[in-house]
Amino acid sequence: MLDLSPNSPVPALERASFKAFRTIGVASTSKLFALWVKIISVVMILALFLPWTQNIRARGTVTSLSPNLRPQTIHAIIPGRLEEWFVQEGQLVQKGDTILRLSEVKAEYFDPQLLDRTQQQITAKELTGKSYEEKVHSLDAQIDALTGGLRIKLEQAQNKIQQARYKLQSDSIRVVAATTEIKVADDQYARGEQQFKEGLISKVELERRQVAQQRANATLIDARNKLLDARNELLNAELDINGIRNDYRDKLSKAESEKFSSMSQMYTTEGEVSKMQVDLANYTVRAGNYIVTAPQDGYITKAIVTGVGETVKEGDPLVSVMPAAMDMAVELYVRPMDMPLINKGQKVRFMFDGWPSIVFSGWPNSSYGTFGGEVVAIDNFISPNGKYRILVGPDKKDQTWPTALRVGGGAVGFALMSDVPIWYELWRQINGFPPDLYMDGKAEGTETDQKIR
């Protein structure tokens, strides 16, 4: 019956008056359990205020810090046929040691004396070019001689013209003198006729004056003829200059044409010699590529081409080499959300595959079997897997990494962030917020810590 009325209270239950309660008694276990629950609850509440080191967890692989110390594959530079192996898998080789030998497979390189014959062709071409060069020098000398001859001929022609001018001047004076002389002879003859009529002179004297007049006429005619010859000589001498110039211009043009033709052949020969020298250098380098040598000290890990007599193409992989000396590093891939929190020099803890470890991600100092690292490089471009790659090297101030580590081994890294209470970390994980990162203000150029979320 329900106790609904305040005026009729139900009396208190007396356990001792009932036999069942007297038989069972009071259970002490329930009190102990309640005590433990209270203690555990108090401990858990207090534990929520313990410090917790936030971290970004990422998985990666062991690699080398230097690209030249990472595992590499040796490729065939030229096509060839595998003739002989000189190493075995797992063998340590030094830089320059012979790994294998190839033979030629292309018909144009089968000649065993290809280098010597090519050198002979180069020598013959060089001698041909030398001959053309000597011919050019000879033509230069011929052109110089023709130029000198032209200068001499022109000087001679100028002298001849000058002589003709002097002779023309002399003949002109003689014509003038002959004209004066015949005028005098005419006057004397006219006076002689008058005197002969008057009886002053004899017939003989008149005839003598007539002869003198005729001689003067002959002298004038001769002087005029010589003057005309002198004018013709002057004209011919002036015409000879043009003839000399045209003649030597033709000879010089032919010599220069032969010179330029020889120079063209000389340059063509030099170009052929250069091409053949390139071919010789290529043949020499190709002959050196028949022997495949180790690019650096390392171990032969895998022979990709195995059978003797097998042919390979240019660029085909032959053998893979693992460098003997390595500077270990780990490449990790972090989410884009965590990428802004990663900086160079940031500390990272590693758990390597194959090394036993006990990890407390929130208490790195309490972890066992982990190794320290430091971020040395961060990619600026996202990887094909949708994450950013970071390269982490060993922390020199921490424990040395195991010497038995091998490239390609797995590793789990914890990038250490700021210290926060456990309750805050649980709240952050539940809400999916990124970790908090406290950076040293001195490293960033400020006096106080900066908080980056």
Of residues 414 and 289, more confidence is placed in: 289
Domains and CATH numbers, the chain: 52-65+327-452 (2.40.30.170), 72-104+290-322 (2.40.50.100), 114-288 (1.20.1270.60)
Amino acid at 305: V
The percent of residues above 70 in pLDDT, for the chain, comes to 82
Inter-helix orientation angle 114-198/203-288, to 10°: 170
Chain-centroid distance of CA 401 in Å reads 39
pLDDT score of 447? 33
Integer Cα distance of 16 and 311 in angstroms:
104
pLDDT score of 30? 63
Read off the tokens for 201. 């002179």
Please measure the distance between the N-terminal and C-terminal CA atoms of the chain and give it in whole angstroms. Answer: 63
- 389 to each of 58, 212, 359, how far by Cα in Å? 10, 133, 23
Integer Cα distance of 161 and 165 in angstroms:
6
Residue 103: partners with Cβ closer than 8 Å, 6 or more residues away: 80, 81, 83, 290
pLDDT in tens, 105-138: 888 888 888 889 999 999 999 999 899 999 899 9
Indicate if the pLDDT at residue 406 is higher than 60.
yes
Integer Cα distance of 12 and 27 in angstroms:
20
> Which range among 191-195, 226-230, 285-289 shows the weakest confidence by mean pLDDT?
191-195
- String of DSSP letters for 385-427: TSSEEEEEEE-TTSPPPPTT--TT-EEEEEEEEEEEEHHHHHH
pTM of the predicted model as reported, rounded to 2 decimal places: 0.56
> Quick check: 429 and 361 in contact, CB under 8 A?
no
Phi-psi category of residue 141: left, alpha or beta, with phi > 0 → left and psi -120 to 50 → alpha = alpha
Stretch 398-405: mean pLDDT: 81
> Which range among 14-28, 48-62, 108-122 shows the weakest confidence by mean pLDDT?
14-28
pLDDT score of 271? 92
Read off the tokens for 49. 């205020």
Phi, psi of 382 (to 5 degrees): -70, 145
